[in-house]
Chains A and B, each alone.
Chain A
Amino acid sequence: MQSEHKEIITKERFLDLFEKNRALLTKNDTALLAGTREKAIATFARLGFPDTSLETWNLTSLEESFNRGYDYYLRPSEEVDVQKVFRCNIPHLDTAVIGQLNGWYVSKDVPLMELGNGIIMGSLAEARKKYPQLIEKYFGTVADDAGDGFTALNTAFAQDGVFIYVPDNVKSPKPVQLINVIHHDENIFLQSRNLIVVGANAKLSLVHCDDSYNHQASFSNIVTEIHVGEHGVMDHYKLQNLNNNSTLISSVFFRLEDSASLESHYISLNGGLLRNNIRVRFNAPHGRANIYGLYLMDRKQHVDNQVFIDHAYPDCTSSETFKGILDENARAIFNGHVLVRRDAVKTDARQSNKNILLTDTARVNSKPFLEIYNDDVKCSHGSTTGQIDQESMFYLRQRGIGEETARMLLMFAFADEIVTRIDIPQLRQRIEDMVKKRLQGELQICEQCVLHCSTPEHPVEFQIDLSKI
């Protein structure tokens, strides 16, 4: 086992680590992938980590997170002793569950499942060995790391993560649930890399959960590439319930081919510092992308949603609908950037960000931004930030509803516009419950992962076999 003990995060540390471990990192690379990696480390050497001098980072400082010091593992840690759970107890939710622990794929039976219908699902590390051509075709082509030090670093160090391949014309019969659990006795830095390919006329529902299992600090730099082929359909759910000492840099890159359709839902319930980079590229005409976000933050939590939608081709439709409720000293940033390129006629792009601040000390910075190089488009953006509506409060209380209940009803109604978009009924029900609990201050991280996999009172056995790591 190789570990870098409790060091603070610096550019030099990672450049040095790369040099010392080049052989290990590139062991299963094709020539092309090795080249991608070299290019990425060069990009990282040039850019380093972002700081607040950059426009897209000016409100999110990572200094405190960096200085905590973290262990970093280039191989799966063997120290992890997990006796507890990982069982998802959403009633009647039938999903194929795949898990990651501290950024490494956790295999139940085999590291890579190949289903009868041609779907491949499992460890990216294993897929790199078994399907080098397939990986080569997509890996690093969706994620654009040219101006992004974190993504470049992830590409340079990419080893494991999840790979899902849905061949052309195949509709995944049930949603795939990808659970990232962080559980370590020391502060841990982790980088996993996910690659999802949805073929032409194929369909996939992916429920992607980020959870922590204890209160130990962590820093995650996770990159996910998602390619959706012609007429492909992707339903994407990102659920975040991390502890208050966690820092998550999540970068998800979507590439949509002709007439591809994407629905993505970001539900952030808890976390120390959450940064969601959501980048959508329409790579052909007639695409459709709806991105929804809901964040419920309190204490000193910080959430930063950066959405970039690249309308590079005509006749594409996009929407961003983000809503947040902020309590105590929480801070939220919404930065929606829609780029309509010169040839992208008939673009329809909408952006909306609404926030409720429950205290004078909670803060929001909202910047919906349209960059348009074409006249024949329909674009709109809007942003509101306010308190709970006092007219509505009076109305509800006048009917005998107590002040606290009335406040809950209104907050939940505000959040429900996002929750109601969740297409899987059992999941929607669960998220509704979690949102209610969160608003009532009853949701405890560590009692569980976002899908309530377990509680300390009900220790259940780990459903996923850890013996192979």
Chain B
Amino acid sequence: MLLQIKNLHAGINGKEILRGVDLEVNAGEVHAIMGPNGTGKSTLASVIAGREVFDVTAGEIFYKGKDLQKLSIEDRAREGIFLGFQYPVEIPGVSITNFMRTAVNEVRKFKGLDPLPAGEFLRLMEEKKQLVEITSNLTNRSVNEGFSGGEKKKNEIFQMAMLEPTLAILDETDSGLDIDALRIVANGVNKLRRPDNAFVVITHYQRLLDYIVPDFVHVLFEGKIVKSGGKELALELEEKGYDWIKKEQE
């Protein structure tokens, strides 16, 4: 099992947001996590990635059999956890090239590999850029600075392609995308699917799941996964709306 979450409780500034999440993800699977706003979807993603502002108050997270809570943010990333951000931060002065070279080489170092030679690195960049149809000049710019919403999300998938994670969590990657950008982003993800990796796709709408077809769909509501099913659950949600879940819970 790649990821195993047991009875996870977490919050921020003393306010509990996750109230007992259980989730299991195996290699080769795509999981979708859906739910209304403010139910803890992004918090769950952040807690898996190790964001320090959130406190885990109870429960366990195992990744490749390791207790994730004992690993730093960077070590989780080096072990293959990738978070595609809902709102990628702009970092003026850090070029994408420099950023990615540093990241790729730190991950390689962690795995006991030598740094990638410059020529090879640039070839890899070119190859991965094409995956998400990034025009060449994007990579010489500062990280996300002045990017449109679509460019930022493409850039997230590009970084994912560069780092080849084992577990990718995409936090509302579809928000703010027009239909063309959505297709490009989804195609990128589909090309990266392999039997030995897994995706957790967080989304508010069913639309993305037309392009990235999930094996499992979970509904997160008030800090708990209250319903799980196959891809047809997403269609049902689309039809009945989240009120249906709310009513069921009451």
Give A residues with C-beta under 8 Å from B: 389-392, 394-403, 405-406, 409-410, 412-414, 416-417
Contact = CB atoms under 8 A, between A and B. Distances in A.
Q: Which of B50, B93, B98 has its CB near the most chain A CB atoms (within 10 A)? A: B93
B74 A395 contact: no
Contacts of A395: 85, 88-89, 91, 143
B163 A399 contact: yes
Interface in B27-72: 49-53, 72
- Of the four ranges (under 10, 10 to 19, 20 to 34, 35 or more), the interface on chain B belongs to 20 to 34
Contacts of B244: none
Contacts of A412: 93
Given A394-B73, A409-B99, A409-B102, A400 B163 contact: yes
A400 B91 contact: no
Contact of A392 (B52, B91, B163): B91
7 contacts: A396-B99, A398-B73, A399-B77, A399-B103, A402-B74, A413-B91, A416-B93
A422 to B, nearest CB: 15
8 smallest CB-CB distances across A and B, nearest first, come from A413-B93, A400-B77, A399-B103, A397-B73, A400-B107, A397-B74, A413-B94, A391-B89
Nearest to B73: A397
Contact of A403 (B72, B88, B93): B72
B154 interface: no
Nearest to A406: B74
Contacts of A405: 102, 106
B89 A392 contact: yes
B249 to A, nearest CB: 32
B139 interface: no
B78 interface: yes
A397 B72 contact: yes
A126 to B, nearest CB: 45
Given A397-B77, A399-B77, A409-B102, 16 more contacts: A395-B91, A395-B143, A396-B94, A396-B103, A400-B106, A400-B107, A401-B74, A403-B73, A403-B74, A405-B106, A409-B98, A409-B99, A410-B91, A410-B94, A413-B93, A413-B94
B157 interface: no
Contacts of A400: 74, 77-78, 103, 106-107, 110, 163
